[in-house]
A and B are shown apart, each in its own frame.
Chain A
Amino acid sequence: MAASGALAGTSFVRAGAAGILAAAEAACTARDEGAPFETLSDAEAREFEAIAARILPTTDTPGAREAGVIWFIDRSFGSIFQGRLEFARGGLAAFQAAIPAQYPGAHAFSDLDTADQDRYLATQESTGFFQFLRIMTLAGFFGMSSYGGNRDHVGWKLLGLEHEHHGWQPPFGYYDAAWRRDETDDA
């Protein structure tokens, strides 16, 4: 069985494997060198990054910002989310439309302080745009860093996943370790 629910309503467009690999390598380099964005304008990137940074905020551990998720997002429109850029642009415009009226003096999501950002985001949770941004943020934060995000494997470190391990040996967890001790005692 598979992850039908989580992915429903989101279109993943497949680019060629070679193209994805090339884009991924380019994204990696760009993130580390702070190169210009490829598909997003600086203003768009600022908003996408601000949203991503509230989905996975910086706390006592690194968040989407430190993971370089915006580099993943920028490059993904040219590869794995090819064909979705216009949807995302239109979605961003609609997402921000109510901000100036609600927050005088503010024009964009990134103009708000984080408390207001969270309050505003809570009103947008059910939109397709937010769901799409959420998936992109999670893919950028927890995916392989070759795609442009997950800088220094901060996403995997958050989970306690030691990226340098490619395999494991038992005991794996607390309960099977205890089970093995009991087995030994019985023997």
Chain B
Amino acid sequence: MTPETGVRFAPRERVDFVVIGSGAAGGILAKELATNGFDVVVLEQGPYRTAADFTHDEIAVMLQFELLGGTGQALQQTFRADETRTAEVSGPLPPAMYAQGVGGSSVHYSANFWRFRASDFRERSLLGPIAGTNFADWPITYEELEPYYTRVDWEIGVSGAPGPSDPPRSKPYPMPPMPIKSAGVLLEMGAKKLGLTPQPAPLAILSQPYLGRPACINCGFCMGFGCEVGAKSSTLAAMIPQAIASGRCEIRAECAVHRLETDAQGRIGEVLYYDASGAEHAQKARAVVLAANGAETPRLLLNSTADRYPDGLANSSGFVGRNLMFNGHTAADGVFEHELNEYKGVQVTRIIHDFYESDPQRGFYGGGGIDARPFLSATPIMHAMLGGPPGGPTWGAGYKESVAWRYSHQMSILGSTTSLPVDSNNITLDPTHKDPQGRPSIRVTYRDHDDDLAMCGFLRDRALELFDAAGAQQSWAWPVAAQTSGAHLLGTCRMGDDPATSVVDRYHRSHDVPNLFICDGSSFVTSGRGQPTMTIMALAFRAAEHIGRAARANEI
């Protein structure tokens, strides 16, 4: 089916804004700017799918990465663990993992919507410097961002209930949490036994019909899949329809931007892109809002060198692409006597935030959150592939029996953690490989900081304790290892007051290029506790307000 793409602008027509990317940030920025009276062209490299196009097809989604635009080999992304090595195209999983399509990764996420706490924005002041890192405070505070978190709750659609140590909120959740699942019950039981304080998970999934969208039907195909009923609060479901209805926003899908063209004054005049046929076009605009994600955004800037910008656009600090943060992730699995049937319903219904704050007593920097979920056992092929306890059979009659029994009796406890910002974790242009559109490939250089790995180990140990406390028959942990792929792409064009150590100012305007605004995961200064999208969206609402104000004052 062909979705409604809205008003049409001619490329030679100078629109107010080109928004590059239509995901968690871009979808909000496009809707906010268009409904506030600006002409907007959205350039999205992926296709324009709608709810009717999403399926439960695990082969297409989980094996072929249909929503990511293909495998790592198809996308030709490269990876290396440190800068002394030559990066290579490796396994099927892209090193920088994000969904391509209208709505971006908000289409395929699991929708855990944790707010940051006040401490997240000023950890450097609270904890002091960390040698060898770019650990810093944000230029904004929780109090400044709170109204926009509340807008995400109410305008995107978040279900939940307040937890014991949540940051203050100006309005309650618009709807109650999703119905508790057996993994949530077991996590809650185990946590209480250990003296911890579990709480309902805030999710960007509708527990009730809301804003003209239906409630979740608990189909179980959340993580990695697109929602067939529009109950998952992607920008595709919640923002894009309003952007189009404004009559001022054109969604141009399958248009891959490869260069921002600057003029003699150092301002962006045109956005160059390839359409689906490979033909090159140039869209003129007063200003550009770059919201392409923490991997695509720095790639585009680095690929837009000019005489005035020899190291790439907006990069006088040298911070474009640096400080990449994936968040750390750990997983432990356990089985219980009775049926859990975790394949039904959303991924997460209970979380634990008792280990959120960094605690000097632990001997390393880091904090995180814990949740209970089916994880990859939500869907049959992934469940069968990953197998059971270490040393158990991976084929044969015993394996078959184990796979069948565990499908209804197994759950995972995940830890999501901080990552430290360091120079040596970054996005750069690959010197040899090209992507399918002919752009220099995204090269990911990444090795988790030792503190990040220590925090992962800490949460893995807590997970095993929780399984014991909850009465698991058996539990086992996945090894903690340096990551070679990340779905959270944070920190690569960070915000700050000092142009020497940041790429954009506190209102997301480039320090160097006056008509360039950058807002997505790249804006993050620190990584939070592993669920970044809520904050990306809050930043986008806030940025849109300031960008609109500047445009009305002729200051773009």
Contact = CB atoms under 8 A, between A and B. Distances in A.
Interface of A: 1-14, 17, 20, 54-57, 59, 61, 63, 80, 118, 121, 125, 134-135, 138-139, 141-144, 147, 155-156, 158-161, 166-170, 172-176, 178-179
Contacts of B70: 14
A4 B58 contact: no
Interface in B163-221: 179-182, 184-186, 217-220
11 contacts: A6-B382, A8-B91, A54-B395, A142-B58, A156-B380, A159-B408, A168-B344, A170-B345, A173-B181, A173-B340, A176-B185
A147 B380 contact: no
Q: Please list the 5 inter-chain residue pairs (A to B) with the smallest Cβ-Cβ separation, ordered nearest first.
A: A167-B217, A174-B338, A173-B182, A142-B380, A175-B182
B400 A172 contact: no
B484 interface: yes
A144 B340 contact: no
Interface stretch (B59-67, B135-143, B521-529): B59-67
A173 B64 contact: no
Interface of B: 56-60, 62-66, 70-71, 73-74, 91-93, 97, 179-182, 184-186, 217-220, 224, 329, 331, 336, 338-345, 376, 380-386, 394-397, 399-401, 403-404, 407-408, 414, 478, 484-485, 487
Contacts of B397: 57, 59
B60 A20 contact: yes
Contacts of A141: 384
Contacts of B220: 168
B101 to A, nearest CB: 13
Contact of B66 (A17, A61, A160, A161): A17
A3 B380 contact: no
B394 A125 contact: yes
Contacts of A54: 395-396
B185 A2 contact: no
A80 B218 contact: no
A172 B344 contact: yes
Given A11-B92, A144-B59, A159-B343, 6 more contacts: A3-B386, A4-B484, A14-B64, A59-B400, A174-B338, A179-B185
A11 B65 CA distance: 12
B380 A159 contact: yes
Contacts, number: 176
A12 B345 CA distance: 29
A178 B186 CA distance: 11
A159 B410 CA distance: 12
Given A14-B64, A158-B400, A159-B407, A167 B218 contact: yes
A147 B186 CA distance: 37
B381 A142 contact: yes
A172 B92 contact: no
A23 B208 CA distance: 39
Contacts of A12: 63-65, 71, 92
Nearest to B471: A175
Contacts of B401: 59
B44 to A, nearest CB: 18
A186 to B, nearest CB: 14
Contact of A2 (B93, B342, B396, B407): B93
Contacts of B63: 7, 12, 80, 139
B92 A6 contact: no
A2 B485 contact: yes
Contacts of A4: 91, 93, 484-485
B64 A2 contact: no
Contacts of B58: 142-144
A1 B92 contact: no
A118 B399 CA distance: 13
A50 B67 CA distance: 34
Nearest to B56: A144
A144 B234 CA distance: 26
A3 B382 contact: yes
A118 B92 CA distance: 30
Nearest to A177: B182
Given A2-B93, A167-B219, A175 B186 contact: yes
B356 to A, nearest CB: 19
A55 B342 CA distance: 25
A168 B382 contact: no
Nearest to B63: A12
Contact of A134 (B71, B74, B394, B414): B394
Residue among A2, A13, A20, A147 with the highest chain B CB neighbour number at 10 A: A2
Given A158-B404, A168-B345, A176-B181, A138 B219 contact: no
A161 B71 contact: no
B162 to A, nearest CB: 18
B59 A80 contact: yes
Contacts of A175: 182, 185-186, 336, 338, 340
A143 to B, nearest CB: 4
B380 A176 contact: no
B324 to A, nearest CB: 16
The interface centre, meaning the residue of B59, B383, B485 with most chain A CB atoms within 10 A of its CB, is B59
Contacts of A55: 395-396, 399
A7 B93 contact: yes
B179 A170 contact: yes
